[in-house]
Amino acid sequence: LFYRKPLVVFVLGGPGSGKGTQCPKIVEHFGFRHLCAGDLLQAEIESESENGKMIQNFKKEGKIVPSEITVKLLQQAMQQSDNKRFIIDGFPRNEENRAAFENIVRIKPEFVLFFDCPEEELTKRILNRNQVTLLHILVAESLPMHLFTTFSVFLKGRVDDNIETIGKRLKVYFETTLPVINYYNSKGKVQKIDAQRSIKEVFEDVKSVFAKLRP
């Protein structure tokens, strides 16, 4: 029987570069299965599995979870999917991640979609997301707006969307993820997108990249 290897596209970019915003649009237009490494790890935390606590500590510190855990979660999700065309979002984040995926899953990415965005814009977007989350809570609970400042001290969107962890996430991104992007670039596999424009403009570029893919 003719067997075709799954098609994998890695989606990389700094925290807040728009990976999670653009991926559902790719799914909608091009029928890929979206696997977000960060979400798979979050599900492990919430399932209270034996690794959950450890994963949460890594996330809080903006550190990268050991490859064997992330790769196992990705591999399971790929095996369980009927759709064999994947966009893998937020992975590989370091050299160890990249080597582990290629050695264990034995698939090389078709290409790497890279959302290029300056550091100031990344910080602005992530802090803004935290505030938006708070506003949603206040509105949903019909609480008066003057509680916003009071609540903002206690409530956080994501555990890692505070100014301290954002600094750590950005450092890890520039020091360990960017070299992975450079590695793939040296192999001619990077499709770089200017991510500092509107969501719509960014998706126009994303669309033209995916439109060229083999069916």
Render the burial of 99-111: b for 16+ CB within 10 Å, e for the rest: ebbeeebebebbb
DSSP string, 56-113: HHHHHTTPPPPHHHHHHHHHHHHHH-S--EEEEET---SHHHHHHHHHHT----SEEE
What is the DSSP secondary structure assignment for residue 5, as one 8-state letter? P
Should residue 112 be labelled a site residue for ligand UP5 when binding is judged by CB under 6 A?
A: no
Should residue 17 be labelled a site residue for ligand UP5 when binding is judged by CB under 6 A?
A: yes
Which residues define the annotated binding site for CMP?
97
Comparison of 62 and 109: residue with beta carbon closer to ligand UP5: 62
SS3 content of the chain, % helix, strand, coil (to 5): 55, 15, 30
Provide the minimum distance between the beta carbon of 9 and ligand UP5 in the complex, in angstroms, as a whole number.
Answer: 15
Q: Binding marks (x or -) toward ligand UP5, 147..166, rule CB under 6 A? A: -------------x------
Residue 38, CB-side half-sphere exposure with 13 Å CA sphere:
18
Which residues define the annotated binding site?
16-21, 63-65, 90-93, 97, 129, 158, 169, 197
Beta bridge partners of 190: 112
Should residue 38 be labelled a site residue for ligand UP5 when binding is judged by CB under 6 A?
A: yes
Provide the minimum distance between the beta carbon of 79 and ligand UP5 in the complex, in angstroms, as a whole number.
Answer: 18
Q: Which of 62, 101, 105, 123 binds ligand UP5 (CB under 6 A)?
A: 62
Q: Applying CB under 6 A, which residues contact ligand UP5? A: 13, 15-21, 37-38, 41, 58-59, 62-65, 70, 90-91, 93, 97, 125-126, 129, 160, 169, 198-199, 202
